[in-house]
A and B are shown apart, each in its own frame.
Chain A
């Protein structure tokens, strides 16, 4: 599944967990060690994710409604 939204919270486990606000609701997003994070076409460290960034996430939805992220693209420049 794909999800677009804004990062509301960065939870500091490692790998990180995020709260992402989509148009409809807030969604819990879990990163894994295999999650790739890119910005402006280049791979970046997941630690550079921060609140207020807008992101496009591709991953697997779980029964709770949360998403296990395979790929996160930062789509704004903040």
Chain B
């Protein structure tokens, strides 16, 4: 299915799931330069061991930087930061409405918990790419800190760049939250490799788009790091770094 503008996931019904969970309910986004899709960015990540694909989205514009949120494992793996990352906002295959920003390793950040490793590190799996504050992009997808109760009743949306589809095409998926943990949420959505770092988003009571988590984990259910105050504080600090 290909559509230009898609409904929120809460307007759809869900049956079986695969990881792609059951039926594959993903929808290609072709009008990537419209809200909410124009926030999603394609990442081509250069690590020593090879190139990887991931996703990201902008959450803060400070005097110094625009801060893109992503997964920690998109910027930092095997004890070191990526050498560089090519970031293309609202990319649709060869179309790059805002061009490509090359972000060097010195402009990457990740949490202390992700760097430290250990058996609980997935809970700290977030990071950032910093680009110049005067860069032209579509806007900022502000985070929203939601209560456990509100998250438990949520149907989430996600858009990113799954690698089983034509290269660097954007795909939307969605599904219900199935678990809420102190730092993570679990949900049933049809994601694939390449979508790490993509925004899990919804609308607030004023019908404004807000990011609630950072997708990072496959399986049924999927997993994402929640925006809680401690996580947001790290991004605010990076915005001023």
Contacts and interface: CB of A to CB of B under 8 A. Distances in A.
Nearest to A66: B78
For the side of the interface on B, what is the size category? 35 or more
Contact of B49 (A9, A14, A65, A68): A68
Contacts of A10: 19, 217-219
Contacts, number: 88
Contact of A11 (B71, B78, B163): B71
Contacts of A15: 50, 52, 193
Interface of A: 9-17, 19, 26, 28, 30, 32-33, 46-47, 50-51, 62-66, 68
Contacts of A68: 49, 78
A65 B193 CA distance: 23
A15 B45 CA distance: 11
A32 B49 contact: yes
Most buried by B among A12, A63, A66: A12
Interface string B163-198: 110000000000000000000000000011111100
B216 A30 contact: no
A26 B118 CA distance: 7
B73 A63 contact: no
Contacts of A62: 49, 78-79
B30 to A, nearest CB: 21
